[in-house]
Every structure is written in structure tokens, then in C-alpha cells.
Amino acid sequence: MNAIISAAELATDLSGERPPTLLDVRWQLSVAKAAGEPAFDGRAEYAAGHVPGAVFVDLDAELAAAPGPDGRHPLPDIEEFGAAMRRAGVSAKVPVIVYDGGQGWAAARAWWLLRWTGHPDVRVLDGGLSAWAGDLSVDVPTPAEGDFQPVPEPAGFLDADGAAALARSGVLFDARAGERYRGEVEPIDRVGGHIPGAVSAPTMQNVAADGRFLPAEELNARFRALGADDGTEVGVYCGSGVSGAHEVLALAVAGIPAALYVGSWSQWSSDPSRPVAVGPDPQ
């Protein structure tokens, strides 16, 4: 099953006999704002217009636990996550389509969590809301309670020790911008640099200018050139497990399974005992 869906395909599915559950996960990374500049409000964006039938999901409140030692976007409590998904109408036997404003990171986080906890049919709207050509709605639906019960998979998830080991035994991709990987700048976390052995693979290089993913064969060639050969175990991390989920999604489009280190650099760098590498080379 393809991990992404086009806007045209979504329109067809929504008008069919078995429409998918539709989740709107608009979100932006919180960074320092200029004086007087309002912070991004995904719920307000949703209220101003969304794909008809979509239910808003709050990434910070429902797809992550509170920031702390485990990172800026640690795993949510699984029971609380399941309850949030059921409130949004998610059921195990009904397809789920997730979208955000266009960057794809937040939608990918929802996709990864649902897939990792056992939902069999989840896709991301390629290009996000920006790709949607249909009408928007301001009506807020009240979905029937879903029946989804999350059961995390043993595979697909990395902790800090697992990420460190994978950087030696397989390939661990760093999905952040190259300058953060190299340690030249670090606008958010305690220190710049990367996990020793990790390979720089910025997730923004997986998409075209319009935010849609590159063709599967191009993505496959890119990741293979970076070391994701047949039989090689692959993992991904980023700053806090959001853009890294987008790279896991890109790898899925390319036909390459990968695990996500959810704590990512925000967890790794907060522990002074963890080694930090700088510069363009993995070591």
C-alpha cells in the first residue's frame, strides 16, 4: 500500500461508499518570534477552513507527551493517544488520511504513530492542504467514536541506545538541515552536532518545491547512495521526532522500511554523557 495519496485520489475516496477518516494536523515548530508576531495556531487555521469532514488533531497535546528528559516531542502515553484517536473517529477497519499545511512533518508524525501502533491503512496527503483544490469547510464535524486500540510494534522504534548501536551496525539518517548536523548552528537544542556515525540526509531534499515527494525511484536512489542497501537496517532521527517521521515516510515511499528515534537530538543532546560529533563526516 502506498504511504501517500494525491489530492485527486483523496477527492475520489471522500465521495465513495467507504470514505476515509480525515485528520487535520496543522502545526509548526515553535521558534522565537519577532515582537508582536503571533505564534502559529493550528486550531485557528483549522477553524478558518479545512477539507470537509476533517477532524483537528493537536500534535503537541495528542501526538506527543510534555517536553522533558525524553525530548521535546516524546512519545505520548499510548492509552491517551488511543483515546484521542477514537475521539477523532479513528477505527481499525476504516482507512485514515492525514494532512497538514503542506510541509508534511506533522502529518507524517500522525502517520508514523498510527502505523507503529497497528493501524493497517494510513496515508498522508501529498503536498498537504496546499495541494487540495476542492472547497474548504468551516463546519466542525462530530465523528462517531472510533474503535482503534493502539498496540505498539516491537520494530519501528528506537531509543537512544538503539540509535547509537544502529549508527554502527546499519545506517542512521539525520533528517535535520546540514548546518545543524555539522554543528555550525543550533537554534533550539543545548548543543549542535550529530550522533557519531549518523549520516546527514536532510528531509527537505526528499520533496519538490511544491512540497510533494519526489518520485519513488528518485527517493530510492537517494537513500541507496547514502548507504541504505538491501538488507541494511535503517533508522532516522531529527530534532524532536517530527521531521524524522517525514523522512521515515519518504523511505516508505521509496520502499525502504525504517525505524524512528523519537527522542532524537533533543533527547540525545540533553544528556552530557552522550558523545557528540561535529563536521560533515559521520564520525
> Which residues are part of the catalytic machinery?
238
Grid cell of 245 as nine digits: 517521521
* Cα distance between residue 207 and residue 226, in whole Å: 17
Task: Name the DSSP letter for residue 74.
Answer: P
- Cβ neighbours for 161, distance < 8 A, ≥ 6 positions apart: none
Tell me which residue has cell 493497517: 120
3-state secondary structure of 94: coil
Q: Is 89 left (phi over 0), alpha (psi -120 to 50) or beta?
A: left
* Cα distance between residue 35 and residue 32, in whole Å: 9
Grid cell of 64 as nine digits: 506527543
Neighbours of 88 (CB within 10 A): 23
- Cβ neighbours for 205, distance < 8 A, ≥ 6 positions apart: 222
